């Protein structure tokens, strides 16, 4: 029953106050900082690269094209594809997507290797994302190269790609466990020869927000090119880390739909935009088609056979559901009391629970109005007590609560049963 998006089957009622939603004064934008890119960032959408490394992912060409087109329509700036060296089909898929004529720039992601770079250029992409491990851990246990060799190869590969006229990014892997001086020296060298972006990657998913802020802010003082960031989710901080990177001056954030990727994935596109729309509402709403988030997530969830997590920002089935009495009461007065995200921005609706032991009479009063009944506040309070008494004994459905309300209303003296009006539009189908 979960993970199916906002369903009609729950015990509650959508509120009718969407139309009157007022964005309150926003304390979440913070003091302005001229290096911050919170209101001026670009998304490198990597569902078709990082996402293909997700355990369940097997994208055939048709699915890849469908996903690429949806992301393009949504408004992402870049779409990153699996290396054309990974397999023959990966190469063919790169070529196919690069030739679709999308507005988004098409990137592919390769090892720092001249052979890989040639194959990438041959695939017809707009830009190439080059990566190499720079931490001691990866230098010893993965490729076995030293920093001198890494720098030399990086310069060669970047020069080659630039020579073909393509955009080129150079990134370290496992940046947060790399030696800071090594890292800055390397980035300074590639910046000097005109790389378009350097990348910071929390490959093992363990960086913390203030650590991210400090590294990116330091790097911002060393290079003049753009700064791309990539955060894994192992310790649950991928959205927060991306946000702090932008505060520090990063320009690009890697995302994937639902965050799919190696292990438990990276910064999720939807959750990231939930974060950003709070801090930069005008930028985000004018640039990205937020109402498409649910359909894009559904497309990818189906392709990799997962359910949207019940607690997903925006699209989790309960993201806009309110239950406790004091919450429900305030939400019905003014949604901004317990919501800053406006569900209408995402083509969704809020939902106020009233059939539980935690219910308050204000939520019940709204339901009474939805049922077209006319009752005084005291009567609403009395019927609320009856609903709570039953909810104390067993889980109750919307029908149970409605029955209690209708029965109570039926037994009222005739004079008080005046039909109310004007609220029928709030009733859940």
Residues 5-44 that bind a second copy (CB under 8 A): 10, 12, 24, 27-28, 30
Distances (CA, A) of 100 to 31, 66, 94, 97, 103: 42, 11, 10, 5, 9
Among 18, 89, 185, 218, binds a second copy (CB under 8 A): 89
DSSP H helical segments within 169-221, as ranges?
A: 180-192, 209-220
* CB contact at 8 A, 213 and 241: no
Please, which of residues 37-76 interact with a second copy by CB under 8 A? Answer: 52-56, 58
Q: Is 319 in the site for a second copy (CB under 8 A)?
A: yes
Considering the complex, what minimum distance in angstroms separates the CB of residue 86 from a second copy? 6
* Selected binder of a second copy within 13, 37, 171, 203 (CB under 8 A): 203
Cα end-to-end distance, the chain, whole Å: 18
H or E element that contains 65: helix 61-74
Token pair, residue 219, equals 């790097």
Q: Is there a contact between 50 and 266 (Cβ–Cβ < 8 Å)?
A: yes
Nearer to a second copy, 218 or 374 (CB): 218
Q: Among this protein's residues, is 232 annotated catalytic? A: no
Give the shortest CB-302-to-a second copy separation in angstroms: 12
Determine contact, residues 270/258, Cβ cutoff 8 Å. Answer: yes
Cβ–Cβ under 8 Å, residues 29 and 279: yes
Kindly determine how many residues on this chain lie close enough to bind a second copy according to the rule CB under 8 A. Answer: 110
Residue 102 or 391 with smaller CB distance to a second copy: 391
Give the residue, chosen from 74, 170, 187, 272, that forms a contact with a second copy under the rule CB under 8 A.
Answer: 272
Dihedral pair phi/psi, residue 117, rounded to 5°: -60, -40
Q: Where are the alpha helices (DSSP H) in 339-426?
A: 361-370, 377-393, 398-410
Orientation of helix 361-370 relative to helix 377-393, angle to 10°: 110
232 forms beta bridges with 266
The footprint of a second copy on residues 298-317 (CB under 8 A) is: 305-307, 309-313, 316-317
Axis crossing angle, helix 238-248 with helix 269-279, rounded to the nearest 10: 50
Taking the complex as a whole, the smallest distance from the CB of residue 338 to a second copy amounts, in Å, to 6
Give me the torsion for CA of 65, 132, 268, 270, rounded to 10°: -60
Would you list the DSSP string of 112-138? S-HHHHHHHHHTT-SEEEEEEE-SHHH
**Could you tell me the smallest distance in angstroms from the CB atom of residue 229 to a second copy?**
14
Token pair 């932008």 is found at: 246
150 binds a second copy (CB under 8 A): no
User: Which has the closest alpha carbon to 272: 10, 5, 47?
Assistant: 47
Which CB sits closer to a second copy, 125 or 138? 138
Nearer to a second copy among residue 26 and residue 164 (C-beta): 26
In the window 328-357, what residues touch a second copy (CB under 8 A)? 329-330, 333-334, 336-341, 351, 353, 356-357
- Within 208-227, which residues bind a second copy (CB under 8 A)? 208-211, 213
Among positions 232-271, residues that touch a second copy (CB under 8 A) are 233-241, 243-244, 247, 258-260, 262-265, 268, 271
Q: Of 355-384, which residues contact a second copy (CB under 8 A)?
A: 356-358
For a second copy, give the closer residue by CB, 102 or 317: 317
Listed ranges 62-70, 81-89, 161-169, 417-425: which one lies at the site for a second copy (CB under 8 A): 81-89
Binding residues among 151-190 for a second copy as defined by CB under 8 A: 174, 176-177
| Residue of 232, 327, 414, 426 marked catalytic | 327
- Near a second copy in 115-134, by CB under 8 A: 133
The smaller minimum CB distance to a second copy, of residues 46 and 196, is found at 46
Distance CA 367, CA 362 (A): 9
Which of the residues 391 through 420 are near a second copy (CB under 8 A)?
Answer: 391-395
Which residues are tagged catalytic? 327
């Amino acid at each position: 029953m979960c993970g199916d998006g906002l369903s009609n089957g729950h015990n509650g009622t959508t509120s009718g106050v969407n139309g009157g939603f007022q964005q309150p004064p926003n304390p979440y934008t913070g003091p302005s900082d001229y290096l911050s890119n919170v209101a001026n960032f670009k998304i490198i959408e990597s569902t078709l690269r990082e996402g293909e490394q997700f355990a369940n992912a097997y994208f055939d060409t048709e699915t890849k094209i469908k996903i690429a087109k949806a992301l393009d329509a949504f408004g992402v700036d870049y779409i990153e594809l699996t290396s054309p060296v990974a397999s023959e089909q990966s190469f063919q898929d790169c070529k196919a997507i690069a030739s679709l004529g999308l507005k988004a720039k098409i990137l592919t992601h390769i090892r720092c290797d001249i052979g890989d770079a040639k194959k990438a250029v041959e695939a017809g992409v707009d830009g190439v994302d080059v990566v190499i491990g720079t931490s001691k851990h990866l230098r010893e246990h993965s490729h076995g190269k030293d920093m001198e060799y890494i720098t030399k190869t990086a310069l060669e590969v970047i020069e080659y790609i630039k020579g073909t006229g393509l955009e080129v990014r150079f990134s370290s892997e496992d940046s947060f466990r790399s030696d800071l001086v090594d890292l800055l020296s390397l980035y300074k060298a590639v910046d000097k020869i005109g790389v378009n972006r350097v990348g910071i990657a929390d490959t093992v998913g363990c960086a913390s927000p203030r650590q991210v802020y400090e590294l990116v802010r330091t790097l911002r003082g060393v290079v003049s090119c753009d700064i791309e960031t990539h955060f894994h989710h192992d310790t649950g901080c991928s959205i927060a880390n991306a946000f702090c990177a932008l505060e520090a001056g990063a320009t690009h954030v890697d995302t994937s739909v639902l965050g799919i990727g190696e292990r438990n994935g990276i910064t999720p596109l939807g959750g990231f935009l939930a974060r950003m729309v709070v801090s930069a509402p005008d930028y985000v709403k004018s640039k990205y088609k937020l109402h498409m988030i649910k359909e894009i997530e559904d497309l990818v969830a189906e392709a990799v056979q997962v359910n949207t997590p019940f607690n997903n920002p925006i699209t989790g089935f309960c993201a806009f559901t309110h239950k406790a009495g004091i919450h429900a009461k305030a939400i019905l007065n003014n949604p901004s009391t317990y919501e800053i995200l406006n569900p209408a921005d995402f083509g969704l609706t809020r939902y106020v629970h009233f059939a539980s032991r935690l219910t308050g009479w204000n939520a019940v009063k709204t339901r009474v109005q939805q049922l077209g009944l006319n009752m005084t506040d005291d009567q609403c309070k009395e019927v609320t007590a009856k609903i709570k008494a039953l909810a104390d004994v067993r889980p109750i459905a919307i029908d149970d609560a409605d029955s209690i309300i209708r029965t109570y209303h039926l037994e009222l003296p005739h004079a008080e049963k005046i039909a109310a009006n004007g609220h029928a539009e709030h009733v859940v189908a």
